[in-house]
């Protein structure tokens, strides 16, 4: 199993551009999440999904959209990139039930100029 796969690993955008960060998992996990990691702030939840067709906002959702058309995929869309969105983005998935750990991807390092 590949686990959680994120693409691309690195990306540079200009302010105002849009792009999609891809995330796929092959563990048949119901729950998937997107986090951003910023120095001194830990990881913060952007959006999450509890199953295909169901998404909800996390702590810092503004400027991002998500959809969950299949169990495997959970793409994150930046609608109009801003320098404040420069960050490292992590996708995670986990199975249902209590106290189950999250499985993380390698991350996408995104720079907005």
Partner 1 sequence: AQRVTQPEKLLSVFKGAPVELKCNYSYSGSPELFWYVQYSRQRLQLLLRHISRESIKGFTADLNKGETSFHLKKPFAQEEDSAMYYCALSPNAGGTSYGKLTFGQGTILTVHP
Task: Give residues in contact with partner 1 (CB under 8 A).
Answer: 31, 33, 35, 40-45, 48, 50, 58-59, 90, 92, 94, 98-102, 104-107
Query: With respect to partner 1, which residue has the nearer C-beta, 2 or 14?
Result: 2
- Minimum CB separation of residue 102 from partner 1 in Å reads 6
- Minimum CB separation of residue 16 from partner 1 in Å reads 30
- Minimum CB separation of residue 14 from partner 1 in Å reads 27
Dihedral sign of CA atoms 103, 107, 91, 42 in order = positive
Structure tokens at 62: 């503004």
């Amino acid at each position: 199993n590949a686990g959680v796969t994120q693409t691309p690993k690195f990306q540079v955008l200009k302010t105002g551009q849009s792009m999609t960060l891809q995330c796929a998992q092959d563990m048949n996990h119901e729950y998937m999440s997107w986090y951003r990691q910023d120095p001194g702030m830990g990881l913060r939840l952007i959006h999450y999904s509890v199953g295909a067709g169901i998404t909800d906002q996390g702590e810092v959702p503004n400027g991002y959209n998500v959809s969950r058309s299949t169990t495997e995929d959970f793409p994150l869309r930046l609608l109009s990139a801003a320098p404040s969105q420069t960050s490292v983005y992590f996708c995670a998935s986990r199975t249902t039930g209590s106290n189950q750990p999250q499985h993380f991807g390698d991350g996408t390092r995104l720079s907005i100029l």
